[in-house]
A and B are shown apart, each in its own frame.
Chain A
């Protein structure tokens, strides 16, 4: 491998490493269960980072909604690195969906997890009933970040 190609690979790896939010993987969410202890939930989430979180209330109970990105696939994107000769470099960019975990407060018991759409039509009226407030708070936090 030429030094230019090696440099290109290093740049692409570094760019992927710069991603501010580490997405969840399907294997991680597949391992979640309602009876998982809070410490076990944290262990399963691993290095995945929540890009937003907020509390919502239903009656006298509070719930914590933590928003992640779930990697559902990947797509190849080409970038050109010039050092000074230009080389095309292929980078795999993750394709993600917004994914939310809802936990009770303060116990942190796992109540529900899924995409915003899945939880909005959840059979449990408590979960689907929390979703309008969760989505409104998420939208507000997105607008604040703009």
Chain B
């Protein structure tokens, strides 16, 4: 009886994770380098972004690509930022807020509603 319950739970979990859409994993992140074009980054990740948004802050143009990063338990919002067509930073929302470029952090904050992530500014 217990075995049937666990087997059913496992099947349900597998089905639900299949519904979550395409995701990237931590192992793929080591393939990213600053200066990549979006085509190169997509090729290295083996997956196109779920969403793309552009913005201009402080006279600088940014393009953000949104992915879902699967951490083994659930999927989190993961962003790649391009400036002048080149990858300048990538990470979780919190990592964008910690990195030293305030304009990039501001651009990310500006796009968060459009990128579909929850806004939780301090």
A135 and B30 contacting across the interface, CB-CB below 8 Å? yes
Tell me, yes or no, whether A101 is within 8 Å of chain B by CB: no
B side interface size, CB within 8 A: 13
Question: What 0/1 readout, one digit per residue, does chain B (58-77) give for beta carbons within 8 Å of chain A?
Answer: 00000000000000000000
Name the residue on A nearest B95 (C-beta): A121
Residues 11-41 (chain A) with a chain B CB within 8 angstroms: none
B99 and A120 contacting across the interface, CB-CB below 8 Å? no
Known: A121-B89, A121-B90. A128 touches B33 (CB 8 A): yes
A117 and B33 contacting across the interface, CB-CB below 8 Å? no
Tell me, yes or no, whether A69 is within 8 Å of chain B by CB: no
Tell me, yes or no, whether B29 is within 8 Å of chain A by CB: yes
Name the residue on B nearest A116 (C-beta): B30
Question: What 0/1 readout, one digit per residue, does chain A (100-129) give for beta carbons within 8 Å of chain B?
Answer: 000000000000000111001101010011
A side interface size, CB within 8 A: 13
Between A and B, 18 residue pairs with Cβ closer than 8 Å are: A116-B30, A117-B26, A117-B30, A117-B32, A120-B32, A121-B32, A121-B34, A121-B89, A121-B90, A121-B91, A121-B99, A123-B99, A123-B100, A123-B101, A128-B33, A128-B34, A131-B33, A135-B33
| A-B contact sample (9 more), CB < 8 A, given A117-B32, A129-B34 | A117-B26, A120-B32, A121-B89, A121-B91, A123-B99, A123-B100, A131-B33, A132-B33, A135-B31
Residues of chain B whose beta carbon lies under 8 Å from any beta carbon of chain A:
26, 29-34, 89-91, 99-101
